[in-house]
Amino acid sequence: MTRLVEWSWETVLYNTEAIVVKTVRYGESNAILTLLTPLGLTSAMAKGAMKPQSRLSAGAQVCAQGTYFLYQGKGMGTVQQVERTASRRRLHEDLEAAAYAAYFCELVSHAVPERPNAPASAFRQFAALLDQLEAGQHDTSILARMFETKVCRWLGVSPTWTECVRCGRDLSPIVRYHIREGGLLCSGCFSPQEASYTFQVPDRCGAILAVLERTNFEQLGQVAISVQTKKAMDRILFYQLTEFAGLYLKSRAVLDEIARVFDADNENPSR
Ligand SMILES: [Zn+2]
């Protein structure tokens, strides 16, 4: 957690646990880092970090985690020192994992507010998500859907997945997702005139979304979810994040493009 080390009228030196979620080159050799800390997002300049021999370069890479010592004056903070605890190399070396990592970092940089207003579990959940992605033992699309359910909750665009968005009753077996109302409809509320604003989702899709939302990444066991349910959840959460949270992310388009290539390969293994 954050600890105040020194105080003067001009600047505060403090250290905090942090994960780099964005790095932008500034000038010849400097980097502006966006850091996710347990209290929220903050930006800091890492002087000289783009030089490979810099003592800050390892701590300036996206998905790196550690203790960051920051000088905070009136404007943007400055990184003094980094004690890195995780580099997460696979997220830089594996094409698919890197695309997911880029998407998760862009999502979290839109979903979490600046210090000190972060949702309580955001930092811990994001660190565990990256650890799971690094370990590579879970279906990455399920990790993505899990994280999206949490992001929807943090941004206030999550319906109660087990209730009809219109009447609030428990969902009977046949449900549809309503694109304009942002939630699942029970069969009693659905009328055929609304067919073009809705699409059918598999039974228990809402129940599975509810489970994903409340499961911590540290506790994630092996889960088997049908292809149809995965596709429906992907589509539902995409609408929630774009239509209701307004997040149209570049990294998501890249990820979808890569997923299409991987899917085509799986369907035509001889190629
Ligand atoms: Zn209803």
Q: What distance in angstroms lies between residue 234's CA and the mean position of ligand 1's atoms?
A: 22
Q: What distance in angstroms lies between residue 142's CA and the mean position of ligand 1's atoms?
A: 27
pLDDT digits (tens, 9 = 90+) for 14-37: 999 999 999 999 999 999 999 999
Tell me: do 142 and 235 sit in the same domain.
yes
Q: What distance in angstroms lies between residue 162's CA and the mean position of ligand 1's atoms?
A: 11
The share of the chain scoring above pLDDT 70, in percent, equals: 93
- Name the residue type at position 203: D
pLDDT digits (tens, 9 = 90+) for 127-172: 999 999 999 999 999 999 999 999 999 999 999 999 999 999 987 7
Q: CATH number, domain at 50? A: 2.40.50.140
Q: What distance in angstroms lies between residue 104's CA and the mean position of ligand 1's atoms?
A: 33
Q: How far apart are the first and last CA of the chain?
A: 50
> Which of 87, 102, 135 is the endpoint of a domain?
87
Tell how strand 30-37 and strand 65-72 pair up.
unpaired
User: What's the pLDDT score for residue 259?
Assistant: 82
At 179, give phi and psi (nearest 5°).
-65, -35
Q: What distance in angstroms lies between residue 197's CA and the mean position of ligand 1's atoms?
A: 15
User: What's the pLDDT score for residue 73?
Assistant: 85
> Which of 87, 109, 128 is the endpoint of a domain?
87
Tell me: do 249 and 121 sit in the same domain.
yes
- Mean pLDDT is lowest, of 138-142, 221-225, 241-245, for 221-225
pLDDT digits (tens, 9 = 90+) for 51-97: 999 999 999 999 999 999 999 988 899 999 999 999 999 999 999 99
Q: Which residues of 53-90 are buried (b: 16+ CB within 10 A; e: fewer)?
A: ebebbebbbbbbbbebbbbbeeeebbbbebebeebbee
Confidence of residue 271 (pLDDT cuts 50, 70, 90): very low
Closest C-alpha among 63, 61, 138, 68 to residue 103: 63
- Flag whether pLDDT at 185 surpasses 50: yes
Tell me: do 205 and 170 sit in the same domain.
yes
Cα 172 to Cα 188: distance, rounded to the nearest angstrom: 8
In the chain, the number of structural domains is: 2
> Which of 87, 117, 141 is the endpoint of a domain?
87
For the chain, what is the mean pLDDT? 92
* Domain hosting residue 234, numbered range: 91-267
DSSP letter, residue 114: B
Tell me: do 246 and 134 sit in the same domain.
yes
Q: What distance in angstroms lies between residue 202's CA and the mean position of ligand 1's atoms?
A: 17
Sign, CA dihedral 255-128-210-36, equals negative
